[in-house]
Amino acid sequence: MPQAGKSGPEGSKQPPAAARIVAMAREQYRFVTSTDGRPYAVALDGPNVALPLRGKSGVRQRLARQFADSYPGEVASQSALADAMTVLEGVAEDSDPVPVNLRVGRAPDGAIVVDLGSTDGRAVVVSGLGWEVVDRAPVLFRRSGAMAPMPEPVLDGDGLAKLHALLNMDASTFHQLVAWLVAAWIPDIPHPALVCKGEQGTGKSKAAQMFINLIDPSPAAKRSQPRDEKAWSRQAFSSWALCLDNISAIPPWLSDTLCKAVTGDGVVDRALYTDDDVVVLTFKRVLAMTTIDAGALAGDLAERVLLLDLQLIDSTRRRSEEELDATFAAVRPAVLGALFDVLACALAVLPSVRLESMPRMADFARVLAAVDQAQGWNTLDDYLATSANVATDALEGDLFAMAIAHLVDQAGTWQGTAGQLLEVLPVPLVRPPNWPKDATRVGGRVKRLAPLLRSIGITVDDTQRSRDRTRHKLLTLARAAPQPEPASAREQGPLWPEVTPPGNGSTPPDQY
């Protein structure tokens, strides 16, 4: 129940506390509902940042403090605040839903906007004409506790070389990384998961942490593998870019979830503070992972990754984590400026980019082609060649897929029902958990493995049926005609370029 009105200075009765809180809020904020059904408040005179109505960083807490300051000796009760929030949620629902972005967004004129995460609401606006830092973002952003501020980018002419100097990778691999980093700020395309692969001592975890902190800085850039879909949805809701560290095995549910996160994952959840209303949360996220073995990737996920194979760091070049952190902090503004430059150049030519063939992750491939055209690199061919190798590695890690490949090698062409396939394939002595248990599961597994099998020259056809009265669906497995060898990555060059110390601008090396 609202608090009873109290007498004013001249004995007049004041409105209840809840009514005064609502009036106070409407004088300072406009109220909107996001496309996922959540109410937010946006300061009328302040940064273009959407504040939740409830929670630790919400408007409720701010209004409670302001009420106490405005009415000395009076504190709003919990019931008064709850009643006020209910009214304000109703006010928010009066308007059509609006996009509320997290870290990156698309402006009405098509420019890309990156939230710096600062308290004053500054942002970087990038278009084909260049980039600039603006005082107020032209799109609405929300913040989360998993976000950290991004330093203001600067141009010193040496940003890419300074980033490369921190990483143990050749020029070809580094160019693919740069293209992935700039594509990560394009909000409306799928982004392949970046997989940092290498043995112990290659600095995978530290490198992945740097990459995430360039795109979407966070106090917890590296995350452990989520326990279930609920834990994943909480992580994805609070961050635009995430890194899952030290992945050794990926359960099927997580592999499916990560695949959907690449292309746009929808999660139906109960709406806050309700028993029966639901909201649909759509997560299209930028993912990075570290692993020792690419064979840990399931088939569907293996087709949606960009693999970076890090080289072992020589003992003479190994640096302490403290030194790396200090160097990264010093060069990060210059690195960001260089990356935004590459993004602006790619956006300028992207509308005219046409691919001869459309590979998986076609939108990302177009960005690679645009970066290549603007920078004179070869990232698209290198990415396609590496992707073929990843698919092969993932296939070799799947015993059921390898059994099919062995069958086709022996038979040339095999045709039969899913049940017959299960019977003819020899079961390993130690049966893996993903080995199908019945004919229904066999059909589904073969369909999911089809792209990977195709990468090693095996075609899968499930369009035919048996000619008897049962009309069973038939699987036809055959060796495809030989295809031209994919382009191979160029020979490895020096892992580290020469670079000037942080803060000293110079002309970029020719390889950039």
pLDDT given at position 1? 41
pLDDT given at position 504? 42
Q: How confident is the model at residue 512 (pLDDT cuts 50, 70, 90)?
A: very low
pLDDT at 492 over 50: no
Length of the chain: 512
492-498's contacts with Cβ under 8 Å and 24+ in sequence apart are 492/170, 492/172, 493/170, 493/171, 493/172, 494/170, 494/171, 495/167, 495/168, 495/169, 495/170, 495/311, 496/164, 496/165, 496/167, 496/168, 496/317, 497/161, 497/164, 497/165, 498/161
Q: How confident is the model at residue 272 (pLDDT cuts 50, 70, 90)?
A: very low
Residues 121, 48 contacting (CB under 8 angstroms):
yes
pLDDT given at position 507? 40
Name the residue with higher pLDDT: 395 or 265. Answer: 395
H runs (alpha helix) in 124-170:
159-164
pLDDT tens for each residue of 102-126: 999 999 999 999 999 999 999 999 9
Give the residue-averaged pLDDT of 32-58: 90
- The tokens describing 426, both together, are 């020899």
Q: What is the mean pLDDT of the chain?
A: 83
Q: Is 96 exposed, middle or buried (0-12, 13-18, 19+ CB in 10 A)?
A: exposed
pLDDT at 85 over 90: yes
Nearest in space to 451 (alpha carbons), one of 254, 291, 234, 304? 304
Nearest in space to 269 (alpha carbons), one of 287, 255, 283? 283
pLDDT given at position 350? 95
Residues 166, 321 contacting (CB under 8 angstroms):
no
Give the residue-averaged pLDDT of 171-186: 95
Nearest in space to 379 (alpha carbons), one of 181, 172, 196, 189? 172
5-14, 249-258, 489-498, 500-509: the lowest-pLDDT one: 500-509
Residues 116, 149 contacting (CB under 8 angstroms):
yes
Give the residue-averaged pLDDT of 392-417: 84
Quote the longest CA-to-CA distance of the chain: 99
pLDDT given at position 293? 58
pLDDT given at position 233? 80
Q: How confident is the model at residue 510 (pLDDT cuts 50, 70, 90)?
A: very low
Q: How far is Cα of residue 65 from the mean position of the Cα atoms in its chain?
A: 37
pLDDT given at position 511? 40
Beta bridge mates, 41: 31, 51
pLDDT given at position 237? 85
Q: DSSP 3-state assignment of 437?
A: coil
Angle at 154 between CA 151 and CA 157, to 5 degrees: 140
Q: How confident is the model at residue 281 (pLDDT cuts 50, 70, 90)?
A: low
pLDDT given at position 37? 85
What is the percentage of the chain residues whose pLDDT exceeds 70? 84
pLDDT given at position 467? 83
Q: Please list, in sequence order, all residues whose beta carbon lies within 8 angstroms of the beta carbon of residue 10, skipping any fewer than 6 positions away.
A: none
pLDDT at 361 over 80: yes
Give the residue-averaged pLDDT of 30-40: 91
Residue 402 Cα distances to 34, 228, 250, 407, 429, angstroms: 47, 29, 19, 9, 15
Name the residue with higher pLDDT: 305 or 187. Answer: 187
Residues 427, 407 contacting (CB under 8 angstroms):
no
pLDDT given at position 220? 82
Q: What is the DSSP string of 279-308?
A: EEEEE--EEEEEES-GGGS-HHHHTTEEEE
Name the residue with higher pLDDT: 232 or 318. Answer: 232
Give the residue-averaged pLDDT of 413-420: 90
Give the residue-averaged pLDDT of 81-108: 93
pLDDT tens for each residue of 313-357: 776 677 778 888 899 999 999 999 999 999 999 999 999 999 888
Residues 115, 127 contacting (CB under 8 angstroms):
no
Residue 422 Cα distances to 121, 298, 426, 439, angstroms: 59, 20, 8, 7
Give the residue-averaged pLDDT of 4-19: 68
pLDDT given at position 238? 87
pLDDT tens for each residue of 182-223: 999 999 899 998 988 767 767 788 888 999 999 999 988 888
pLDDT given at position 316? 67
pLDDT given at position 486? 45
DSSP 3-state percent helix, strand, coil across the chain (nearest 5) = 40, 15, 45
Nearest in space to 403 (alpha carbons), one of 440, 358, 372, 434? 434
pLDDT given at position 294? 55
Give the residue-averaged pLDDT of 277-283: 56
